[in-house]
Structure 1
Amino acid sequence: MADYRAGKAGINAEAQARINSKYNNDIAHETLEWIKRITGQPENTAGDADNLYEVLKDGTLLCNLVNKFQDGSVKKINQSTMAFKCMENINAFLETVKKLGVPPQETFQTIDLWEKQNLYSVVICLQSLGRKAGTYGLPSIGPKEADRNVREFSEDQLKAGQNVISLQYGTNKGQQSGISFGNRRQI
């Protein structure tokens, strides 16, 4: 994290506090335990934000994790601790999880992890990846992903549905009290 920056103040500090309040140590611990089951790392699976950041900040563990899903999905994992090399690792992880089926709205931005801006979104991304793990023969975490429920309607059913008045148009059941149209205001 960039220690040379001044702390946030005012509305920015409030927004950051709101983001940080979403973080859950128990879910982060569960996520790190899941990563350890698959990759054998990290040694420390404490769920506090500082530990999660220290374990994941260089992106190498994240790249190793997605390589367990598909061999060689991240071809070059940078071992350097230089900022741009670590951020390349994180970005390679993010591109791979999208290809593995994690919805884009459940991913995070590189800066969220690198500058410790939004570790909650990092955990959400890993949990979403954990739901996909079962389809790749790996242990999964979190709630089971829903199956598709495709419905087929006949032409008669579709035509019958066109005659139904949607509740968005209101209802003709009863009358609202106190409303009458056409009366003049008495002065």
Structure 2
Amino acid sequence: MAEYRAGKAGINAEAQARIHSKYNNDIAVEALEWVKLVTGENIPTAGDADSLYEVLKDGTLLCKLVNKFQDGIVKKINQSTMAFKCMENINAFLEAAVKLGVPAQETFQTIDLWEKQNLYSVVICLQSLGRKASNYGLPAFGPKEAEKNVRDFSEEQLKAGQNVISLQYGTNKGQQSGISFGNRRQM
């Protein structure tokens, strides 16, 4: 686990500090309360990184969570505390989350949770899964998902837009601040 590893140094330490600075306790509390509500498990909902890690590290709760979305999406939940069995649980959760509609860029790597390297991405993944919850009849969590806003333009409107000269091409209206460009400086 993470406590057996040597500490990072130099630029790696700076990068890790930047990752840890993104972590937000309030959002983590909301995520844990949502997980508690959906799964019905009695878990502590303190939002600090250590508490989040202790609750989620073996992956069993994460597997139970996605099984509430779709029964049997994770077929076997390992109850063992062996490292590879726990990482299998986390990986099974991640695969199920992608099947449930979580974009791949909003998931995390197994090592991010198992070795406490990036708990911020774990919370982001839970938020993304929480946005999909309403599609499965469960209470939603996280920022509301954007809806499609399709716009249909007629041919006349599209042709009218071709006649507009963009300000990127320049204009002679307004302030003439560059009028003396190229002249010698008057002393």
TM-score clears 0.5 = yes
Q: Which residue of 2 aligns with 1:176?
A: 177
1:50 deviation in Å? 0.5
1:24-58 CA distances to partner (integer Å, 9 max, x unpaired)? 11111111010001111242111111110011111
Alpha carbons of structure 1 residues 165 and 85: separation in structure 2 relative to 1, 3 Å = farther
Higher mean C-alpha deviation, range 161-170 or range 139-148: 161-170
Partners of 1:167 and 1:83 in 2: how far apart?
60
Look up the equivalent residue of 2:177 and give its one-letter code.
Q
Q: Which residue of 2 aligns with 1:23?
A: 23
1:74-133 CA distances to partner (integer Å, 9 max, x unpaired)? 112122222222112111111221221222222111111111001011001101111111
**1:101-180 maps to which residues of 2 (within 5 A)?**
101-174=101-174, 175-177=176-178, 179-180=180-181
Look up the equivalent residue of 1:176 and give its one-letter code.
S
Q: Which residue of 1 aligns with 2:71?
A: 71
Higher mean C-alpha deviation, range 45-54 or range 79-88: 79-88
Which secondary structure state, in structure 1, belongs to the residue aligned with residue 3 of structure 2? coil
1:180 deviation in Å? 3.1
Preserved CA contact (<8 Å) 1:87 1:114: yes
Look up the equivalent residue of 2:141 and give its one-letter code.
I
Partners of 1:139 and 1:15 in 2: how far apart?
35
What is the aligned-residue RMSD (CA, Å)? 1.9
Count of aligned residue pairs for this structure pair: 185
Preserved CA contact (<8 Å) 1:32 1:42: no
Look up the equivalent residue of 1:159 and give its one-letter code.
K
Partners of 1:33 and 1:23 in 2: how far apart?
17
Work out the percentage of aligned pairs sharing the same amino acid. Answer: 83
Look up the equivalent residue of 1:65 and give its one-letter code.
L
Runs of 4+ displaced beyond 6 Å: none
1:155-177 CA distances to partner (integer Å, 9 max, x unpaired)? 11111112223334343424333
Alpha carbons of structure 1 residues 185 and 46: separation in structure 2 relative to 1, 3 Å = closer
Look up the equivalent residue of 1:114 and give its one-letter code.
W
1:184 deviation in Å? 6.7
**1:44-83 maps to which residues of 2 (within 5 A)?**
44-83=44-83
Preserved CA contact (<8 Å) 2:66 2:96: yes
Partners of 1:17 and 1:185 in 2: how far apart?
50
Look up the equivalent residue of 1:50 and give its one-letter code.
D
Which secondary structure state, in structure 2, belongs to the residue aligned with residue 133 of structure 1? helix
Which secondary structure state, in structure 2, belongs to the residue aligned with residue 3 of structure 1? helix
Which secondary structure state, in structure 2, belongs to the residue aligned with residue 152 of structure 1? coil
Look up the equivalent residue of 1:103 and give its one-letter code.
P
Preserved CA contact (<8 Å) 1:63 1:77: yes
Relative to the length of structure 2, the TM-score reads 0.90
Structure 2, unaligned stretches of length 5 or more? Answer: none
Partners of 1:23 and 1:66 in 2: how far apart?
23
Alpha carbons of structure 1 residues 4 and 162: separation in structure 2 relative to 1, 3 Å = same
